[in-house]
Amino acid sequence: YRIAVFASGQGSNFQNLLDASRTGDLDAEIVLLVCDKPQAFVVERARRAGVECYLFNPKSYARREDYEAEIAAELEKRGVDLVVLAGYMRLLTSVLVEPYAGRMINIHPSLLPAFPGKDAIGQAWEYGVKVTGVTVHLVDGGMDTGAVIAQTAVDITPDDTLDSLEAKIHDAEQRLYPQVVSWFATNQVRLEGRKVTILSE
Ligand code: GRF
């Protein structure tokens, strides 16, 4: 099972998926990293691990559709089964969304539909909610709007700080994302509109 990871930043989720794949905990291979920020640390992680990278600078293209068409060709060439967004900080157009409908997922650090967009952990912290969490969802053209596949709740307790909350959220992400990818790899995900069912659950 062949996956491509799209990321723009630190790449802790990329690293976690890579580790799970290399230890055999996850029966899937990362065949490509797609990154819009050549200086991002995730690129260094991929290089160290010998994972192929497709790097691009969005500013060199007139339209989003133009670089996405190039990405689509790279995915096609490698027979990618699932596209995994992990801190990829751009919206996608139909050039990628349509061919990968039902086969493209994102992880977001809140319980959607609460706190979509940037800095979801900070938004939840400022709002003062007692429970937040992590969502894995299908990708459509909107901002964190696709059908929900799985969620993990994280309590915000009186002793938490923004830093400790971030740590708890990232732990929850690292448990949830490989699990969801493995559901796809073993063909256990059924889609019916916005209703997503996992056969093994
Ligand atoms: C994660 O919190 C993820 O939920 C969000 O972006 C962050 C990426 O972190 N979409 P990393 O690059 O995987 O370390």
Buried b (16+ CB within 10 A) or exposed e, 45-61: bbeeeebeebebeeeee
Domain housing 103:
2-198
CATH code at 117? 3.40.50.170
For ligand 1, whether the C-beta of 45 sits within 6 Å is no
Residue 173 CA, closest ligand 1 atom number: 4
| pLDDT (tens digit per residue) in 1-29 | 999 999 999 999 999 999 999 999 999 99
pLDDT band at 188 (very low <50, low <70, confident <90, very high): very high
Total count of residues recorded for the chain: 201
Would you call 108 a catalytic residue per the annotation?
yes
Residues 32 and 51 sit within 8 Å (Cβ to Cβ): yes
Looking at 17, 21, 88, 108, which residue is catalytic?
108
pLDDT in tens, 123-149: 999 999 999 999 999 999 999 999 999
Mean pLDDT, the chain, rounded, equals 97
Give the Cα-Cα-Cα angle 138, 144, 145 (nearest 5 degrees). Answer: 70
Instruction: Name the residue at shortest CA distance from atom 5 of ligand 1.
Output: 87
Is the pTM here over 0.90, yes or no? yes
Looking at residue 12, its pLDDT comes to: 97
Residue 37 pLDDT > 90, yes or no?
yes
* 62-91 residue pLDDT tens: 999 999 999 999 999 999 999 999 999 999
pLDDT band, very low/low/confident/very high, at 36 (cuts 50, 70, 90): very high
Q: Is 92 annotated as a binding residue?
A: yes
What interface predicted TM-score (ipTM) does this complex get?
Answer: 0.93
Q: Which two tokens stand for residue 16?
A: 């976690």
Q: How many domains does the chain have?
A: 1
Q: Using the mean position of ligand 1's atoms as its centre, give its distance from the Cα of residue 193 in Å.
A: 26
